[in-house]
Chains A and B, each alone.
Chain A
Amino acid sequence: SAVISQKPSRDICQRGTSLTIQCQVDSQVTMMFWYRQQPGQSLTLIATANQGSEATYESGFVIDKFPISRPNLTFSTLTVSNMSPEDSSIYLCSVEEGDRSGYTFGSGTRLTVV
């Protein structure tokens, strides 16, 4: 299965600032996915990142708040902008396995906004 390196693993940020999370995959993938997991909750899809086109955002998530870059087939970034304490969460990137057998997740970024 794909190996995903995600960083930073955790960060504590001041409100009003921005944090960029990086995901590097060890193989080329068409789509990468960004999820949020709030404390005690399940995973919510933020957006789907395709190489060469703008990301597709889910309801409740907007590009100005969560800009995404996808410069090539192995890398993506998610920025959490103008952070507030409500953005405190775990952010995960994910890719689909080539044989449609499921999704692999990065190790996650635990973000705390103070």
Chain B
Amino acid sequence: QKEVEQNSGPLSVPEGAIASLNCTYSDRGSQSFFWYRQYSGKSPELIMFIYSNGDKEDGRFTAQLNKASQYVSLLIRDSQPSDSATYLCAVNRNFNKFYFGSGTKLNVKP
């Protein structure tokens, strides 16, 4: 079983819609959770991090964490074509030990 699982996609949504990206992790001891965006040919850039159960909002982005279900999601409201990228979920299990999912490719259609 992989440490972090994501649907590879592609996930296609129309411009202005809500994009929902999901991630599950295997280790209940995981402590912190991160979402990265990676444009083709570029390095990952951090979008959000979340440590506690519940929702965390930052602009158009909302991260949701449910530790009981070992599930973390990222919602992108009012999706724009510029949001089209691969989104990587990362889980910090032990101190400074990151595990990345394989990423979900998002296509936002104009």
Chain A residues within CB distance 8 Å of chain B: 1, 31, 33, 41-45, 48, 92, 96, 100-108, 110
Contact = CB atoms under 8 A, between A and B. Distances in A.
Contact of B102 (A41, A96, A110): A41
Contacts of B34: 102-103
A110 B34 CA distance: 24
A106 B101 CA distance: 19
Contacts, number: 40
Contact of B46 (A41, A92, A103): A103
Contacts of B43: 92, 105-108
Contacts of A104: 46
Interface residues of B, number: 18
Interface of B: 32, 34, 41-46, 49, 88, 90, 96-98, 100-103
A1 B103 CA distance: 23
A105 B98 contact: no
Contacts of A96: 96
Contacts of B102: 41-42
8 tightest CB-CB pairs across the interface, nearest first?
A105-B43, A102-B46, A42-B102, A43-B100, A42-B100, A108-B43, A102-B49, A102-B34
B96 A31 contact: yes
Contacts of A107: 42-43
Nearest to A101: B49
5 contacts: A45-B97, A92-B43, A92-B44, A101-B46, A105-B45
Nearest to B88: A42
Given A42-B88, A42-B101, A42-B103, A105 B96 contact: no
